[in-house]
Amino acid sequence: MAKNNSKDDITDSKEQQDNIARNQGLSAVSVYGIVHQEGVDELNRPLSSLWWSGVAAGLGITASVTAEGILHGVFEGHPYREAIENLGYSVGFVLVILGRLQLFTENTLTAILPLLIQRTPQMLWCTARLWAIILVANFVGAFLAIAFAIWGGVIPDQHIEGMLAISRHFAEREPWAAFAHGVPAGFYVAAIVWMMPSARGGAAVLVIVMFTYLIAMGEFTHVIAGSAELFLLMLSGGIAPMQVASLLGATLVGNILGGTGLFALLAYGQVAREIPD
């Protein structure tokens, strides 16, 4: 009689069970648990740690604008210059995300998952406080980096011109357009956070580059990377502070809607009945 190859027969040895566990993808509940725990850890960090990590993220994200500006000038006249220069947009995000720095748009997912589990006024206050600290810290870091780039003379003038040319695309939009294009950007950054637990080795870099390149090529708006562009124009005299505020405010709402209103709620919805009490 032929042997019955049931699941128990296939996985009856410890070695086989270890191989399956090692190569099996994470379940949605497992991913939710990992990202949820990251959010809990961030909510429990000292405020000073969050602040300086947020400032560092603001400094680091300006690498995207710098890289784009350099590629813009280097590939002047090239038929695929736009596609090439947009690769530079991923540089700052790789630095910030793999460097474990506090980027506001990541927290539209990580900080919300604990709130969805524990819906109390205290948790709401903790989440709002985390958001406020990181958002302001990101802006401060981006502003300092851009001010140093302009007034410190560390970036050649031709690269500054390339950075300005890149930044004008954002400044030319109306606030409603900045909001609408901010929704997909918020969704895609949240998707990066969701996928990181499943990404192994170099796959993490690929995930970040793939989605941030999509944001750049789709001309979607990201509130922190966009703040670096607008601060650059403002300090160069090309845009008024009120226009900066209106564009960043509209983009912020769009990013929150995409990251929290869409991705976080959908992520919670798919596992809500599977989460242990």
Mean pLDDT along residues 255-259: 94
At 16 the pLDDT is 52
At 187 the pLDDT is 95
pLDDT confidence band for 128 (50 / 70 / 90)? very high
Mean pLDDT along residues 250-256: 96
Q: Please name the residues in contact with 120: beta carbons below 8 A apart, sequence gap of 6 or more.
A: none
What is the three-state SS of 235-247? HCCCCCHHHHHHH
At 197 the pLDDT is 87
Q: Is the pLDDT of residue 237 over 70?
A: yes
Query: What is the amino acid identity at position 223?
Result: V
Neighbours of 128 (CB within 10 A): 12
At 9 the pLDDT is 52
At 212 the pLDDT is 97
Mean pLDDT along residues 78-86: 93
Question: Tokens 């991705």, residue?
Answer: 263
Mean pLDDT along residues 189-198: 91
Q: What's the whole-number average pLDDT of the chain?
A: 88
Q: Is the pLDDT of residue 163 over 50?
A: yes
Mean pLDDT along residues 36-62: 93
- Angstrom distances, CA of residue 277 to CA of 100, 166, 183, 212, 246: 30, 49, 32, 36, 43
Q: Is the pLDDT of residue 1 over 50?
A: no
At 266 the pLDDT is 85
CB 148 within 8 A of CB 59: no
Mean pLDDT along residues 30-46: 89
pLDDT confidence band for 267 (50 / 70 / 90)? confident
The domains of the chain, with CATH numbers, are 28-271 (1.20.1080.10)
Describe the crossing of helices 47-74 and 121-151 by its angle, rounded to 10 degrees.
Answer: 40
Look at the alpha carbons of 216, 222, 225, 228 in this order and tell me if their dihedral is positive or negative.
positive
DSSP for residue 197: G
Segment 108-119, tens digit of pLDDT: 889 898 998 888
What pTM was estimated for this model as a whole?
0.88
Q: Please name the residues in contact with 148: beta carbons below 8 A apart, sequence gap of 6 or more.
A: 154
